[in-house]
Amino acid sequence: MKVLLIAMCDSVHTARWINQLNGSEFKIVLFPSTPHRRLHSAIAQIIRKPGSDLLRMRRLDRYSAFIFGLIDLLFAQRLQGWRLRRFLEREHFDLVHLLETQHAGYLFLRAMRKRPHSSPVALSVWGSDFAWFVRKPRHQLRIKQTLELISFLFVECQRDELLARGLGYLRQCSQPISASGGVGRVESLRELSSLERPSLRTAIIVKGYTGFVGEASTSIRAVVQNAKHLQGFKIHVYSCSIWMVIKLRLTRKWTGLEIHPYRKKSLTHEEVLTLFRESRVSLSLSLCDGFPGSFREAVWTGAFPIESIGSCVNEWASSENQVRLVDPHDFESVVNSLGESLTDPKMVDYAWQLNAELAVRLSTELTVSRVLVEYRRALNSGSALKPQDGLSL
């Protein structure tokens, strides 16, 4: 089955989604929704793998798309939209899959303004695609128009399905499923069972992303407030901008805390998981999210997760004993939750035991089997709009 994947070419989540389809009946052609960004090394590795026909990209998109991307930054995706429309006119695909809304979804909307596509089209909701942008009238209209063009919606939680239904979407939805694939193989969970209890670990891990909806600055302030509990701990802060790295180095100098910052994309997924395995607590705050990767990785490795109420973690785990959900605007609640996780070993170890079953559900094997089932459903979903229906643009 031939699938056109329209997705961020610089994203490890795109790479992991593609890689999980290796060995299936699906063959992927990748059209970049972010041509101005560099191709992620994991995606390039899949393309270059000897004997693999899992993924291909047109030579123009691999080596010359940067120029088109720069032009489109000035002209609102008109050129890339035209290129996508021409590509779809020349080549047939069994399924078109839009991986994320604000780049891939809107690009497809731009391309199909004059000629709605007749094949099945699926859209994956990533993180805050709906929950954050639906609050903004201009984005609400564009999301609604994008939903009119699709016949199948991949969601991570029922919250996003309800938001889509509220915008008039009437077609099929997937069961809640991770938008970036499984975390790892089941056999690696057996190795974790032999590791020491999370309460005995002497490190914590913090997501350092700021900007857009990331609230790493609040996380770092909460870490400093808990400095007395963190003496002798390593504090790993990943996914940092250069400015966050500078700030953390200064914080380390002022407080004496052993803070280790890591630039965004400087660590592989396995290296991130290694840091999680060392950590007693995972702290990740954002104003809005879907099913966060930080939560999945914490569950997988036994770190106690502290996440934001703006996510849909509450649909996957109990906030009573599997995770602490906090409001990033309520600084005291963040400080207290971090302090409790550092001083209550029973709470941390009990959450580890309860999250073991959820970890299996997040395995690559189970996730892939569910993805394949949903892809087959998407293939049979038909087209969302017939050409005569027109678009409400």
Among residues 269, 282, 290, the alpha carbon closest in space to that of 237 is found at: 282
Contact between 79 and 86 under an 8 Å Cβ cutoff? The reply is no
DSSP 284: -
The confidence score (pLDDT) of residue 99 equals: 97
**Domains in the chain, ordered, with CATH?**
2-181+366-389 (3.40.50.2000), 186-362 (3.40.50.2000)
pLDDT by residue (tens digit) across 341-373? 999 999 999 999 999 999 999 999 999 999 999
The confidence score (pLDDT) of residue 132 equals: 95
Among residues 308, 301, 310, 312, the alpha carbon closest in space to that of 351 is found at: 301
In this structure, what token pair is assigned to residue 94?
Answer: 């069994």
Beta strands 281-283; 172-173: pairing state: unpaired
pLDDT by residue (tens digit) across 305-349? 999 999 999 999 998 899 999 999 999 999 999 999 999 999 999
The confidence score (pLDDT) of residue 393 equals: 35
What's the CA gap between 286 and 280, in Å, rounded? 20
SS3 137: helix
Contact between 134 and 147 under an 8 Å Cβ cutoff? The reply is no
Strand order in the sheet with 27-32: 55-56, 27-32, 2-7, 95-99, 121-124, 152-154, 172-173
- The phi and psi torsions of 32 (rounded to 5 degrees) equal -75, 130
What's the CA gap between 87 and 31, in Å, rounded? 10
Contact between 305 and 348 under an 8 Å Cβ cutoff? The reply is no
pTM, entire model: 0.91
Stretches where the chain sits below pLDDT 50 are: 386-393
DSSP codes joined into one string, 219-244: HHHHHHHTGGG-TT-EEEEEEE-HHH
